[in-house]
């Protein structure tokens, strides 16, 4: 394979059968020393041919999740990767721009969760990236440019716009997409004026919905308060001195103020998170300043989101633990008050009438309050805006997920999207078919703005008169929205309407 020229110089990637991959491409200068907490600056050019066969550094991780992130951690982390099956500048294939999840505390584009080949084989060009996490990317302080993580995404999109034709991509057909924190990132870009025109479609997965109904949502106010505490932990509020502080000390202070540790009697949910893209009036706005009217959006949830966070024995790897040893009626009562507000007693009565065990009740309550009700509120808002939007619910339970009790947990759709559902103890041939459905719908949406099933059946758009959604299960079907708008979601919704 001949070297490929981009604006900084020549690069040499990897060619494996019909797949070309280019890894560790700098889309901005290293945000270190005087560039710590500065907007992303242009990357430096190079002479000769740059090796693009290894992933670039990943952002500093706030915690050890027990997952191989695929590369070393460093503040010098602003790198992206490109996967394609053609280097023909005239190919003009749809581009999917993937933002990884991890609560803005952990995660990387080099995790084995995100192999580029299966999606690129669907005649798209795939871009994945790293960005600043925790307090490195989301401090809120008058002396620091706000939402630096958001500015990283914009800088990467600008790089893609300028360079992607050399990888067979179409700079006029870019779909931003992400799951969990990546979904919140995608939603934030709809509110980012500087991103307007840099993307043409968006897929928001399992985050980035309306504010929570009964719980404080991440906000600039919360980030500002946490920033002041970070400075207190580090012993100074002098920005120049803070830029000299060892990265590991900044990371430790960032974790203390991250919201990762819930109050006594409660359990962690993403509603606790502090380092998060929030409206600051400058980079991210309250209104949809970055969402052009002709930009279609697809968004959705998984059926059993909270089982990811409340698995009694953990997830990486799961351990066989009796839920009753971890989750008690007292835990449920605490969380009903936290997530249900004034409807807490009604929520407890709802589960008591059904005879639900505390663990089963807790995961259902948390799923409804943190994901499903805000997603339904988003459905109603998007439909009222009369924008072209689509809503899905991923509900497939693989054999392995049934055995583990994780079911269609938060992130359950990722292996289906990235094509890693090889048949075995965890997945079977039905999962392979569901993976084909998911990959087809996502890439057709990127290509045309209309998600569809492999047989060509288009998915229903959001509609305020006859609201429907697409259910992704063993089979894919159109269903009325009230199938997911459960009585529990209605109880949570009543807090929003008061």
pTM of the model: 0.97
For this structure, is 180 an active site residue? yes
Could you confirm whether 296 is annotated as catalytic? no
- DSSP sequence for 445-477: HHHHS--B-TTSPBPPBP-SSS-EEEEESSSEE
Task: Please give the pLDDT value at position 23.
Answer: 98
Q: What is the DSSP letter of 164?
A: G
What DSSP element (H or E) covers 189? helix 181-190
Q: Which of 305, 373, 413, 444 is catalytic?
A: 305
Strand order in the sheet with 49-51: 4-6, 9-12, 49-51
Specify the pLDDT at position 68: 93
- CB burial readout 333-344, b (16+ within 10 A) else e: bbbbbbbbbebb
Of 191, 334, 372, 410, the catalytic one is 410
Q: Is 305 a catalytic residue?
A: yes
- CA torsion angle 148 149 150 152 (round to 10): 90
The active-site residue out of 21, 108, 110, 180 is: 180
Set out the domains of the chain in order of their start, with CATH numbers: 1-292 (3.40.50.1820), 296-497 (3.40.50.1820)
**Mean pLDDT, contiguous 10-residue spans, the chain (498 residues):** 95 95 98 98 98 98 89 98 98 98 97 96 98 98 96 98 98 98 98 98 98 93 97 96 97 94 83 95 96 97 95 61 82 94 96 95 96 98 96 98 95 98 92 98 98 97 97 98 93 90
Structural Rg of the chain based on CA atoms: 22
d(CA 7, CA 159): 9
Are 51 and 94 in contact, with CB atoms under 8 Å apart?
no
φ/ψ (deg, to 5) at 21: -130, 140
């Amino acid at each position: 394979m001949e070297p490929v020229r981009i604006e900084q110089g020549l690069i040499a990637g990897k060619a494996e059968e019909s797949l070309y991959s280019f890894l560790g491409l700098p889309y901005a200068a290293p945000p270190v020393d005087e560039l710590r907490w500065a907007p992303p600056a242009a990357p430096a050019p190079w002479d000769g041919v740059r090796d693009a066969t290894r992933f670039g550094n990943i952002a500093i991780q706030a915690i050890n999740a027990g997952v191989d992130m695929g590369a070393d951690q460093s503040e010098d982390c602003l790198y992206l990767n490109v996967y394609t099956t053609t280097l023909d500048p005239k190919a003009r294939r749809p581009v999917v721009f993937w933002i990884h999840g991890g609560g803005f505390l952990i995660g990387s584009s080099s995790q084995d969760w995100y192999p580029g080949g299966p999606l690129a084989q669907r005649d798209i060009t795939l871009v994945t990236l790293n960005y600043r996490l925790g307090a490195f990317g989301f401090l809120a302080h008058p002396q620091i440019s706000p939402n630096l993580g958001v500015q990283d995404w914009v800088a990467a999109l600008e790089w893609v716009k300028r360079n992607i034709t050399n990888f067979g991509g179409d700079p006029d057909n870019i779909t931003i997409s992400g799951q969990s924190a990546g979904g919140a990132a995608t939603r934030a870009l709809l509110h980012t004026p500087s991103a307007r025109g840099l993307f043409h479609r968006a897929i928001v997965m399992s985050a980035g919905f309306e504010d929570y109904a009964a719980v404080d949502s991440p906000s600039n106010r919360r980030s500002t308060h946490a920033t002041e505490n970070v400075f207190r932990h580090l012993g100074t509020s002098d920005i120049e001195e803070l830029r000299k502080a060892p990265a590991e000390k900044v990371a430790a202070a960032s974790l203390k103020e991250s919201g990762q540790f819930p109050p006594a009697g409660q359990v962690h949910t993403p509603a606790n998170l502090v380092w998060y893209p929030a409206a600051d009036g400058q980079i991210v706005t309250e209104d949809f300043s970055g969402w052009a009217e002709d930009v279609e959006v697809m968004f959705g949830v998984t059926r059993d989101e909270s089982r990811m966070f409340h698995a009694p024995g953990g997830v990486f790897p799961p351990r066989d633990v009796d839920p009753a040893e971890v989750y008690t009626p007292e835990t449920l009562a605490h969380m009903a008050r936290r997530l249900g507000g004034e409807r807490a007693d009604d929520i407890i009565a709802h589960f008591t009438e059904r005879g639900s065990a505390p663990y089963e009740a807790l995961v259902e309550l948390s799923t409804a309050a943190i994901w499903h009700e805000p997603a339904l509120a988003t459905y109603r808002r998007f439909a009222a805006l009369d924008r072209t939007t689509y809503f899905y619910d991923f509900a497939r339970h693989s054999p392995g997920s049934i055995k583990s009790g994780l079911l269609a947990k938060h992130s359950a759709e990722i292996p289906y999207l990235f094509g890693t559902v090889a048949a075995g103890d965890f997945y079977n041939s039905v999962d392979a078919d569901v993976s084909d459905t998911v990959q087809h719908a996502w890439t057709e949406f990127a290509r045309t703005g209309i998600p569809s099933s492999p047989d060509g059946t288009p998915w229903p758009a959001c509609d305020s008169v006859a609201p429907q959604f697409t259910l992704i299960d063993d089979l894919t079907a159109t269903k009325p929205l009230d199938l997911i708008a459960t009585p529990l979601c209605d109880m949570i919704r009543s807090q929003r309407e008061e």
